Copies of this chain bind each other. A is one copy, B any other.
Amino acid sequence: MLEKIGKQTIKFKNLPTILDTACIVGPKEAEGPLAKYFDKCLEDEFWGEKSWEKAESKIIKETVYSAVKKSNIPISSIDFCFAGDLLNQCISSSFGLRDSNIPFIGIFGACSTFVEGLGLGSIFIDGGAANNVICAASSHFCSAEKQFRFPLELGNQRPQSSQWTVTGAGAAILSSTATGPFVTHFTPGRIIDMGIKDANNMGAAMAPAALDTLITHLTDTGRKPSYYDAIITGDLGHIGKEILIELAETNGFNIKSNYNDCGVLIFDKDKQDTHAGGSGCACCGTVFSGYLFNMLQSKKYKKILLIATGALMNATSSQQGESIPGIAHAVSIEI
């Protein structure tokens, strides 16, 4: 039985376990500092496919199958799949997973999708609607640049505030029966729009949403930031990370010592020319499924708060002069 506590946090009682995870990344991510934590690193952005979109579909498909295989649960025992991505109408997920036969619940939270899936999946498990679910999300640098910004062939110069969409996918299997790590709370976010219009500065657009969800989560649970070994946002990158630290401090929360961001962790800023850091659904998806899950399993982290951030815009909204609404969904994970 679930319980809503405070303003908008759901507390789990029959704690859902994260049984296993899998992640596949592209060549750029394979050169980054977290390479050893990823299950598979691709040598090129196409993986034998004819388009970037088809490659992205293959990546999420193989990631899901890999997670299922690692978990030793027959795929027929996975009750539901929660998945989404950045492509228009989420075609990476629907094409990639159409042959899986798993009942499919499509979700869209832009780059917050992975944690939205973990939260919804946990509700199914704890509520008794499922024994096992899989949550997955993907993104691809090339398909995202093409769709949201400029044709890659232009060789367009990227401003220093721009982020690098992670090529890859992450997947996690949640189960009702296992021994942890456990999802203990889910705080879905509100849409926050502070009027930022620069599609090359997503970190700044999303930081206020991360702040709102962070403060709401801490207030709802009565916890301090220091309760967590690590507070990790999804893809604020270097600029958004600094903004969030400052905004949190202004609001009376000191997160300097235990806060980091997946977009900061995944690339080497000095060596990789990725400017403000990583972004995309796969940024949080692969860093959690690879690095963070490893840290939890090895007990280096015992309690983490994972806050995935998303920018809810599209190319048309930017062209029509709209600002960029942000959202952030959080799950608390403990061993």
Contact = CB atoms under 8 A, between A and B. Distances in A.
Interface of A: 1-4, 8, 10, 50-51, 53-54, 79-80, 84, 86-91, 94-95, 97-98, 100-110, 116, 120, 123-124, 126-131, 188-193, 312-317, 320, 322, 325, 327
A127 B116 contact: no
B129 A10 contact: yes
B91 A89 contact: no
17 contacts: A1-B1, A2-B127, A2-B128, A2-B129, A3-B128, A4-B79, A4-B131, A53-B316, A89-B108, A89-B110, A95-B312, A100-B191, A104-B189, A104-B327, A105-B116, A123-B124, A127-B127
A47 to B, nearest CB: 16
Contacts of A101: 190
Contacts of A109: 105-106
A249 B268 CA distance: 60
B128 A80 contact: no
Given A1-B127, A104-B190, A128-B4, A320 B51 contact: yes
Nearest to A76: B7
Contacts of A106: 107-110, 116, 312, 327
Interface centre among A84, A102, A104, by most chain B C-beta atoms within 10 angstroms, is A104
A191 B105 contact: no
Contact of A317 (B95, B105, B116, B188): B95
A314 B89 CA distance: 6
A88 B108 CA distance: 10
Contacts of A128: 1-4, 127
Nearest to A322: B95
Contacts of A315: 88
Given A128-B2, A128-B3, A314-B91, A108 B123 contact: no
B188 A312 contact: no
Contacts of A105: 107, 109, 116, 120, 188
Contact of A129 (B50, B107, B127, B327): B127
A40 to B, nearest CB: 24
A327 to B, nearest CB: 6
A108 B127 contact: no
Given A50-B320, A88-B89, 20 more contacts: A2-B124, A2-B128, A51-B320, A53-B316, A53-B317, A84-B108, A88-B88, A91-B316, A91-B317, A95-B325, A100-B191, A101-B190, A103-B189, A103-B190, A104-B188, A104-B190, A105-B188, A106-B109, A123-B123, A123-B124
